Structure 1
Amino acid sequence: MGVHFLFPAKTFHQPGEIVMIPLIKESYIGCFYFELFSQAVFLNLFPGHVPPTLGTVAAKLELQQGLLNVEMIYRPPQIATASNGMPISTINFKW
């Protein structure tokens, strides 16, 4: 369980948009997919440490094909974001 980051080859929404999609499996909300300033985030609520791929829980939601089997990274040391043509910003984490 926890937050995993996805790093697809391209982003699908505008940098200023915030996207949140609950993903339901077997009548329970098992996870959420977020995009925060173009950074894809997967909040896993399924028991265990290894989350399913988006393809196993979100195939019917018509998420972009490029996201369905992207590797999920748990606690990356840093992420980089870009917004509206601004320089890339790097966020460093100390987990």
Structure 2
Amino acid sequence: SVPKALELAIMSLAGCLGTTFNMTLQKMHLQFKTLEIKAAAKKREEIFLESIHINIVNVKSGAEVTKLECALTLAEKNCPVDNIFQQTKIPITVELQIS
């Protein structure tokens, strides 16, 4: 089936955060082997989003955890789609899971 508009919006957010995180890691000269992104959203009624949760999982890197977390914070700040979502009242959590 064809994705609905809200599903496309969540995919855009996840894709933008992943791309921006990747670019930030490169600028910080941090290497990684794998990176996987999972996104989930809770809907209230038919059209309203209650919350969004983005998981950046299976990050395999020899870099220090604090540097990876710093890169994620910068990615959130620099991701244009995240900036748009931050202007809404929808709570967004982004979690980094290093393997």
Rg (Cα) greater in structure: 2
TM-score normalised by structure 2 residue count: 0.31
TM-score normalised by structure 1 residue count: 0.32
More strand by share: 1
More helix by share: 2
